[in-house]
């Protein structure tokens, strides 16, 4: 059944809203993706309507319709009576005019089939065929009973839905014709394919809108004064009952809408709390005018009800009378199989998400399941995972964060945008000689630190990273990082004590300076010695030169004499 309703992986954001809103929990979350469990789904379309990311897609059958329209066989549309609420200022004549331009041979109101069906309901109550009779118009309700309340299946009226009854009637009047249902319902697609040979194709109002836009066809108002159209009331809550003018006094007549209300009523029926009752059941709140493919952007249930009421006539459509056999519809049990898990298995899953005591089970519904126990069973069934428990994840994240903050040797302080201390860890308390964190929480940071760096970060919009600062009051050097988180309007200050490193560096610098001074003195002294030696060497050399010159001259003079 997942082929009728699919999920877009790129849009799914793990919000679990579809699981929360699914009345039968037929959605599986795995591989970071929500998926419909086909054999459990009742195609109510709730997940499609409420998805904030538009991650759900209804199967598109416009291609199939185009192929049918392209054939030589006449194609007649059965138009759901909720159309008048979906298309502003429209009538059946307006819709017929537009749809014929698409290639339809003719267009009729499904309300004709509703008239046929309600007459059959009247026969059932007059003949008192059953103590309790449940209307069979809503296919989602039918599947709800077939899958989850099979014990109530015997009370479901074995009568075709208005869509099917109308299509049977069309094919009787137009032998060989193809029938196409147009309405606000996803489940009708499944109903048409489960009971083949009656409705040849089903498209939603959205699909019709696409075809009209594709062909530049607009819906123009054409007045309709048909007063023989009481069954146009069918798409509103209590609409079926309103058309049943021939009632049996042996029955109480009751209208119920919304899957949760239907579930409660079915449980009462099975438990014997309801007797002698004809019940109109609709899966959608407001009935068909609250259908999943009614305009999502403009849902106005009160004004839609008034629109339907104003359009409905006072009398029945003139229809062919059908026998009970001609309108009979067989239902079978479709109950999905479920594994019964032991208490120990359930307890083990609860333990893994921190639920070791009954009081730990918050039953908040954040994961989509009504209770923590239901969620644990879903995990065992492979429909959910442990991380879908939001309180558990929050506690886990906080515990992880707290462990880091508590165990880190770095001082950490968190301030709000008023420069008030919101959090301070043990290392910071030790650094600033604070006995108890409560002594400074909600106090101004100026009481323990210079606020100017925080103000500069806020005003200039530039964070500070690893800036060495001397905290004179505490006689400490720290590497200071200050970050302002605009999302939460908080300052995060991280300080690493580098006092020992700074002192060691200073000692090394002092030793270096002393060494350089000594070296300078030694070099100076050596330079003087060299200069003195050089001076002495210079004098001796000059004297030697003078003596040698004189000796050379004397020798030359002696040679000349000889």
pLDDT tens digits for 379-430?
898 888 887 776 766 666 666 667 777 778 899 999 999 999 999 999 999 9
Angular region, 348: left φ>0, alpha ψ -120 to 50, beta rest: alpha
pLDDT tens digits for 245-268?
999 999 999 999 999 999 999 999
More confident of the two residues 556 and 483: 483
| Angle (nearest 5°) at CA 222 between 213 and 79 | 60
More confident of the two residues 116 and 297: 116
pLDDT of residue 29: 84
| Percent of the chain surpassing pLDDT 90 | 66
What would the two tokens of residue 444 be?
A: 């101004």
More confident of the two residues 129 and 110: 110
More confident of the two residues 482 and 537: 482
Is residue 529 predicted with pLDDT exceeding 90?
no
pLDDT tens digits for 348-366?
998 888 888 887 788 887 8
The domains found in the chain, sorted by start residue, are: 1-59 (3.30.70.20), 60-226+233-311 (3.40.50), 338-397 (1.10.15), 408-497 (3.30.450.20)
Is residue 501 predicted with pLDDT exceeding 90?
no
Cβ–Cβ < 8 Å for 176, 354:
no
3-class DSSP assignment, residue 464? strand
What would the two tokens of residue 200 be?
A: 């040849």
The C-alpha R_g of the chain, in whole angstroms, comes to 44
Measuring CA to CA, how many Å separate 169 from each of 113, 136, 187, 229? 8, 18, 21, 17
pLDDT tens digits for 437-457?
999 999 999 999 999 999 999
pLDDT of residue 52: 85
pLDDT tens digits for 301-318?
899 999 999 999 999 999
Is residue 339 predicted with pLDDT exceeding 70?
yes
pLDDT of residue 141: 98
Is residue 547 predicted with pLDDT exceeding 60?
no
Task: For residue 492, count CB atoms less than 10 angstroms from its CB and return exposed for 0-12, middle for 13-18, buried for 19 or more.
Answer: middle
Is residue 551 predicted with pLDDT exceeding 60?
no
Could you tell me which residues come within 8 angstroms of residue 243 by beta carbon, excluding any fewer than 6 positions away?
114, 115, 118, 230, 231, 233, 234, 316
Q: How confident is the model at residue 370 (pLDDT cuts 50, 70, 90)?
A: confident
pLDDT of residue 353: 83
Of 158-162, 295-299, 331-335, give the lowest mean pLDDT range.
295-299
Beta-bridge mates of residue 464: 482
Cβ–Cβ < 8 Å for 149, 271:
no
What is the pLDDT averaged over residues 216-238? 95
Is residue 539 predicted with pLDDT exceeding 80?
no
What would the two tokens of residue 511 be?
A: 């030793």
What is the pLDDT averaged over residues 337-345? 89
Is residue 91 predicted with pLDDT exceeding 90?
yes
Of 266-275, 487-496, 497-506, 539-548, give the lowest mean pLDDT range.
539-548
- Nearest one of 381, 374, 380 to 345, comparing CA atoms: 380
Q: How confident is the model at residue 337 (pLDDT cuts 50, 70, 90)?
A: confident
Task: For residue 161, count CB atoms less than 10 angstroms from its CB and return exposed for 0-12, middle for 13-18, buried for 19 or more.
Answer: buried
pLDDT of residue 145: 98
- Nearest one of 439, 365, 355, 443 to 396, comparing CA atoms: 355
Longest Cα–Cα distance in the chain:
178
Is residue 242 predicted with pLDDT exceeding 80?
yes
Q: Say how many residues make up the chain.
A: 562
Of 185-189, 313-317, 336-340, give the lowest mean pLDDT range.
336-340
What would the two tokens of residue 450 be?
A: 């210079």
Angstrom distance (rounded) from CA 492 to CA 483: 5
Angstrom distance (rounded) from CA 391 to CA 398: 10
Angstrom distance (rounded) from CA 51 to CA 340: 31
pLDDT of residue 542: 60
276-280, 292-296, 367-371: which has the highest mean pLDDT?
276-280
| Percent of the chain surpassing pLDDT 70 | 88
pLDDT of residue 555: 53
Measuring CA to CA, how many Å separate 241 from each of 87, 287, 365, 511? 25, 13, 36, 102
pLDDT of residue 562: 47
């Amino acid at each position: 059944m997942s082929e009728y309703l699919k999920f877009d992986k790129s849009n799914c954001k793990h919000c679990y809203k579809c699981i929360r809103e699914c009345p039968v929990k037929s959605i599986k979350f795995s591989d970071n993706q929500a998926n419909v469990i086909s054999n459990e789904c009742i195609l109510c379309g709730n997940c499609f309507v409420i998805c904030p990311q538009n991650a759900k897609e209804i199967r598109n059958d416009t291609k199939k319709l185009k192929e049918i329209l392209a054939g030589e066989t006449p194609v007649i549309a059965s138009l759901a009576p909720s159309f008048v609420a979906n298309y502003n200022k429209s009538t059946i004549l307006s819709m017929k005019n537009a749809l014929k331009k698409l290639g339809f041979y003719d267009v009729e109101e499904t309300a004709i089939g509703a008239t046929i069906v309600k007459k059959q309901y009247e026969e059932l109550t007059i003949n008192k065929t059953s103590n309790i009779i449940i209307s069979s118009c809503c296919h989602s309700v039918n599947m709800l009973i077939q899958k989850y309340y099979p014990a109530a299946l015997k009370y479901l009226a074995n009568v075709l839905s208005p869509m099917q009854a109308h299509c049977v009637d069309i094919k009787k009047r137009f032998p060989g014709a193809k029938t196409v249902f147009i309405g606000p319902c996803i489940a009708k697609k499944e109903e048409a394919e489960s009971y083949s040979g009656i409705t040849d194709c089903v498209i939603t109002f959205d699909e019709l809108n696409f075809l009209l836009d594709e062909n530049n066809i607009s819906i123009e108002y054409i007045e309709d004064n048909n007063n023989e159209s009481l069954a146009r009331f069918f798409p509103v809550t209590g609409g079926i009952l309103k058309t049943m003018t021939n009632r049996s006094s042996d029955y109480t007549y009751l209208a119920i809408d919304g899957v949760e209300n239907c579930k409660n009523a079915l449980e009462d029926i099975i438990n014997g709390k309801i007797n002698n009752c004809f019940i109109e059941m609709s899966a959608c709140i407001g009935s068909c005018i609250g259908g999943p493919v009614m305009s999502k952007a403009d849902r106005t249930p009160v004004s839609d009800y008034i629109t339907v009421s104003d359009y409905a006539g006072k009398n029945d459509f003139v229809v062919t009378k059908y026998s009970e056999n001609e309108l009979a519809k067989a239902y079978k049990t479709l109950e999905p199989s479920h594994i019964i898990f032991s208490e120990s298995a359930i307890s083990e899953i609860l333990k893994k998400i921190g639920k070791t005591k009954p009081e730990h089970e918050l039953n908040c519904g954040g994961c989509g399941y009504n209770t923590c126990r239901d969620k644990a069973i879903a995990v065992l069934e492979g429909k959910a995972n442990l991380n879908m428990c939001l309180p558990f994840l929050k506690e886990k994240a906080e515990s992880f964060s707290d462990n880091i903050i508590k165990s880190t040797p770095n001082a950490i302080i968190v301030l709000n945008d008023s420069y008030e201390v919101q959090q301070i860890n043990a290392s910071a308390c030790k650094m600033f000689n604070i006995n108890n964190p409560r002594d400074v929480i909600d106090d101004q940071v100026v009481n323990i630190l210079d606020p100017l760096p925080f103000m500069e970060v806020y005003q200039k919009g530039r964070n500070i990273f690893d800036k060495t600062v001397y905290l004179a009051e505490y006689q400490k050097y720290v590497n200071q990082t200050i970050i302002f988180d605009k999302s939460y309007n908080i300052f995060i200050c991280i300080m690493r004590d580098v006092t020992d490193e700074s002192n060691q560096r200073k000692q090394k610098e002092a030793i270096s300076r002393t060494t350089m001074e000594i070296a300078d003195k030694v070099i100076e002294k050596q330079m003087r010695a060299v200069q003195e030696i050089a001076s002495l060497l210079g004098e001796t050399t000059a004297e030697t030169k003078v003596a040698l010159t004189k000796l050379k001259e004397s020798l030359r003079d002696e040679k000349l004499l000889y």
